[in-house]
Amino acid sequence: MYHEPFFYYRMKTHPKTAIICGSRLGGLADVLDNKTVFLYEDIPHFPQSTAPGHLGRLVFGELNGQLCVCRQGRFHYYEGYSISTVTFPIRVFFLLGVEILIVTNAAGGLNPHFQVGDIMFIRDYISIFGLGGQNPLHGPNDERFGVRFPCMSDTYEQDLLGLAMESAQELGIVSFTQEGIYCQLAGPSYETIAECRVLQALGVDAVGMSTLPEVIVARHCGLQFFGISVTTNRVVMSYDNHEKANHKKALHISVVRAEALQKLVTRLLGKVGENTNPL
């Protein structure tokens, strides 16, 4: 199955950066120049996105002078897909020659200092999937992609993190920019109060339902990674709190922060392009 993607020969140039757009954050693809669009349904072996806010398209183009491919719509474990299916596009990106993966997602804020609408740069993660044995690298290892036992302590590129913070400062959005630890649960149900308390005790700052299997496979392939979580809600930590997690409200917050996120990623890619050896 893992051969050169069918659109490899249709493109005159190939992207060095892939961007995975989270819920209602796919507008980033709309600002690309010289776009070429492929629907998931037209791509061999690609599943279909069923989650609200995920369009189901690969959009190739240029962003701030950098060749990119934007993935409008991801596949989630809670949709019934296997971990290998969820991460299949990452290996497609690798075969296209992608070197940097930027991932965005919508997440619930566990850190008491986070506010709804904050943008969190992911500094590290806790993989409940991995701790429970659901690692996307489980099974025979394909040496074309990476080593049997990849190191994960250097998953989040400090240079990219520094460039992102510089970009946030230049754009004047530091007031709602954070750094933190991300954790993924299986979903689709939101977390219980007890579960949230456990995660907070473990040092988790934000929790969501995507991203980490993609990150693990990306690092296995040697891709450099940068992740952004948009805090779309504050998780409920008290039994006296009658607020409830609501997906419609979460999507609304994603839309509100979409413009700032687009500017941030655009500025970040410009900085990467300015440096002949950025990382």
What does R_g of the chain's alpha carbons equal in angstroms? Answer: 18
Q: Return the CATH number at 198.
A: 3.40.50.1580
Identify the domain containing residue 267 by its residue range. Answer: 8-274
Domain contains 2: no
Q: How far apart are CA 200 and CA 204, in angstroms?
A: 5
The residues annotated with a catalytic role in the active site are 23, 54, 76, 78-79, 106, 209-210, 233, 247
Q: Is the pLDDT of residue 44 over 90?
A: no
Residue 7 pLDDT class (50, 70, 90 cuts): low
Q: What is the pLDDT of residue 158?
A: 84
Task: Indicate whether 93 pLDDT > 70.
Answer: yes
Is residue 234 very low, low, confident or very high in pLDDT (cuts 50, 70, 90)?
confident
Whether the model clears a pTM of 0.85, i.e. scores above it, the answer is yes
Burial of 197 (C-beta count, 10 Å sphere; 0-12/13-18/19+): middle
Tokens 């008290």 belong to residue? 238
Residue 134 has pLDDT above 70, yes or no: yes
For residue 212, pLDDT over 60 is answered with yes
Q: How far is CA 133 from the centre of its chain?
A: 21
In a domain, 167, yes or no: yes
Domain count, the chain: 1
Tell whether the model's pLDDT for residue 167 goes beyond 60: yes
Contact 172, 267 (CB under 8 A): no
Bin 133: left if φ > 0, else alpha if -120 < ψ < 50, else beta: left
Evaluate whether residue 249 is within a structural domain. yes
**Residue 278 confidence (pLDDT) above 50:** no
Asked if residue 118 belongs to a domain, the reply is yes
**What was the pLDDT predicted at 216?**
94
- Half-sphere exposure at residue 204, Cβ-oriented, CA atoms within 13 angstroms: 25
* Number of Cβ within a 10 Å radius of residue 37: 14
Structural domain contains residue 1: no
Looking at per-residue confidence, does 262 or 251 come out higher?
A: 262
